[in-house]
Structure 1
Amino acid sequence: MHLLLAEDEQSAGEYLVKGLTENGFVVDWVQDGVDAVLQAQTVAYDLIVLDVGLPGLDGWSVLKRIRQTRPTPVLFLTARDRVEDRVHGLELGADDYLVKPYAFSELLARVRVLLRRGKPQELDLLTLADLEVHLLRRRVERAGQRIDLTAKEYALLLLFLRRQGEVLSRTLIAEQVWDMNFDSDTNVVEVAIRRLRGKIDEPFDTPLIHTVRGFGYVMELRA
């Protein structure tokens, strides 16, 4: 699932990106309202986590503009626990409302509930050939055999599965899975892919992760 996070507080944004990524989501993070509108109107996100107190354009204004063109589910974040604010947000088209400070587990649960409403079939299961990932149970199986992955291996696998057939560069993988700028001296991507292949490809007859020399990697079933 591809999420947009609009949060201007640096520490809060870093915390949410880390937590959501570790739970298998691909997250784009912006820190002002203008960028939030631009991203929301140009990318087909599965869900938007939107802070009310954004600079540039506040969350109310962002939501109004999003609703002109997109039905994307929106979870509002606010520091003010006022009934009139919650009502105003819901009237503008917000799907849920969470007051700061909140537990990450509650935010994650609300995100999953909103996603289930929109795309239950995609939320529950991702497949390619005989590989299955049961998202709610975080269970990975191939040919009926359970495969145990680390948090980063799991996030990497979900990125590949959600973008099957698309060649992913090392830069993109590093940004999406590790939230880091690519450094040519870092081999973290190659090491992680080698380990993932050792678990989901090497014990089986048909490889699913392929190297595209000079470009990156792709997950697909080849004849």
Structure 2
Amino acid sequence: MPTILVADDEPHIRELVCVVLQREGHRVLEAQDGRQAADLLEQEPVHLAVIDVMMPEVDGWELCAFVREHWDIPILMLTALGETSHKVRGLRMGADDYLVKPFAPEELVARVEALLRRYRIQADGALDIAGVRLLQDTYEVQANGERMALPPKEFQLLFTLASSAGRTLSRDKLIEEVWGYDYEGDERTVDVHIKRLRDKFPEDAYPFRIRTVRGLGYRLEVTGT
């Protein structure tokens, strides 16, 4: 059972997050400010931290930097501030994802599950999709008794989609994950790489497909076992 630290000075937000995560089977530790959160991190093993930006004593920026300095766990930042500058600052300080208040409980759960899954995958160095194995160290895909090496960006794009299988990822999110948040190129780069992946992994030969969700982005769907 993953243990999740929730640090937020707003009691009603903290309660909402805790209830939603506990309902999904997670163990939750609560902190009302950054200092209390830091103390809890040093006392108990934590698998993921949900951190509000604006907190007394030690704010979310400082706590994020502290976590990243000492632990390799995913960090989800919560804030009522939607400006791009705050998102960029959080990512530069080590945050893995960013959720702006108010948010839907379903989105919170989806993001937490995706981060936990991504970190488990990173720890293992591999990912299995219905019998197809993706190897991070070598950028290889094992399937149908064969091994196929992919160019790094194609592999990372496939790996990102597969690690969130069933969830639609926007082009912006894919660019951020694969090319980096400071990428300044054309978002059509994603479309080009998706086409290359579809050419290499046709639906009739592999147990998954990459579906276009019009106006939203792309989603990898498992079609076989």
Q: TM bucket by the smaller chain?
A: 0.5 to 0.7
Shift of 1:46: 0.9
What are the ranges of 5 or more consecutive residues in structure 2 without an aligned counterpart?
125-225
One-letter identity of the residue aligned with 1:75: L
Match of 2:33 in 1: 32
The aligned runs of 1:72-91 (5 Å cut-off) are 72-91=73-92
Q: Aligned with 2:55: secondary structure?
A: coil
Structure 2 counterpart of 1:95: 96
What does residue range 165-184 of structure 1 map to in structure 2 within 5 Å? none
Per-residue deviation, residues 68-126 of structure 1 (Å, max 9, x unmatched): 2111110000100011100000000000000011101001000000000112599xxxx
SS in 2 for 1:119: helix
Q: Which amino acid aligns with 2:115?
A: L
Q: Tell me the amino acid that sits aligned with residue 16 of structure 1.
A: V
Equivalent residue number for residue 191 of structure 1: none
Secondary structure of the residue aligned to 2:5 is strand
- Cα distance in 2 for residues equivalent to 1:44 and 1:72: 10
**What percent identity do the matched residue pairs reach?**
39
Give the corresponding residue for 2:61.
60
Per the alignment, residue 144 of structure 2 pairs with: none
- Give per-residue Cα distances to partners, 1:181-212, cap 9 Å, x unaligned: xxxxxxxxxxxxxxxxxxxxxxxxxxxxxxxx
- Please state how far the C-alpha of 1:22 moved relative to its aligned partner: 1.0
CA distance in 1, matches of 2:41, 2:55: 15
State the Cα distance separating 1:63 from its structure 2 match.
1.0
Aligned partner of 2:103: which letter?
Answer: Y
* Aligned counterpart, 1:18: 19
Equivalent-residue separation in structure 1 for 2:95 and 2:63 (angstroms): 11
CA distance in 2, matches of 1:67, 1:24: 25
Unaligned ranges ≥5, structure 1:
123-223
Whole-angstrom distance in 2 between the partners of 1:91 and 1:43: 26
Over the aligned positions, Cα root-mean-square deviation in angstroms equals 1.6
Cα distance between partner residues in 2 of 1:84 and 1:42 = 33
State the shift of 1:44 in Å: 2.0
Query: What secondary structure sits across from 2:28 in the alignment?
Result: strand
Aligned residue type for 1:13: R
Once superposed, which parts of structure 1, at least 4 consecutive aligned residues long, lie more than 4 Å away? none
Residue 88 of structure 2 aligns with an amino acid whose one-letter code is: V
1:47, distance to aligned residue in structure 2 (A): 0.4
Question: What is the TM-score normalised by the length of structure 2?
Answer: 0.52
Tell me which residue corresponds to 2:105. 104
Q: Tell me which of the two structures has the higher relative contact order, counting C-alpha pairs closer than 8 angstroms and 6 or more residues apart.
A: 1
Matching residue of 1:2: 3
Compute the TM-score of the two structures, normalised by the length of structure 1: 0.52
SS at the partner of 2:14?
Answer: helix
Aligned with 2:51: secondary structure?
strand
Alignment: residue pair count: 122
